[in-house]
Amino acid sequence: MKPSVETHNLTVIYDKKPAIWNIDFTLPTGKIIGIMGPNGSGKSTLLKAIMGIVEPNIGYSKIFDQELDDVRDRVSYVPQRQSVDWDFPASVWDVVAMGRYSQKGLFRRLDKSDKEIIESSLDKVHMLPYVKRQISQLSGGQQQRVFLARAIAQQADIYLMDEPFVGVDAATEEAIINLLKSMRDEGKTLLVVHHDLHTAQDYFEHLILLNSRLVAEGPMDKIFNQKNLTDTYGGTLTTLSKVANLLQEKDFPMRHK
Q: For residue 257, is it within any domain? A: no
Q: For residue 51, is it within any domain? A: yes
Q: For residue 58, is it within any domain? A: yes
Helix (H) or strand (E) holding 89: none
Contact 78, 147 (CB under 8 A): yes
Print pLDDT tens along the chain (257 aa).
Answer: 779 999 999 999 988 888 999 999 999 999 999 999 999 899 999 999 999 999 999 999 999 999 999 999 899 998 887 767 767 788 999 999 988 877 655 557 788 999 999 999 999 999 999 999 998 899 888 888 898 999 999 999 999 999 998 888 888 889 899 999 999 999 999 999 999 999 999 999 999 999 999 999 999 999 999 899 999 998 555 444 454 455 555 554 443 33
What domain range is 244 assigned to?
Answer: 5-249
Q: For residue 186, is it within any domain? A: yes
Q: For residue 101, is it within any domain? A: yes
- Total tally of structural domains belonging to the chain: 1
Q: For residue 256, is it within any domain? A: no
CATH of the domain at 87: 3.40.50.300
Q: For residue 202, is it within any domain? A: yes
End-to-end CA, the chain: 30
DSSP string, 140-204: HHHHHHHHHHHHHHHT-SEEEEESTTTT--HHHHHHHHHHHHHHHHTT-EEEEE---HHHHHHH-
Q: For residue 116, is it within any domain? A: yes
Q: What is the pTM of this model?
A: 0.86
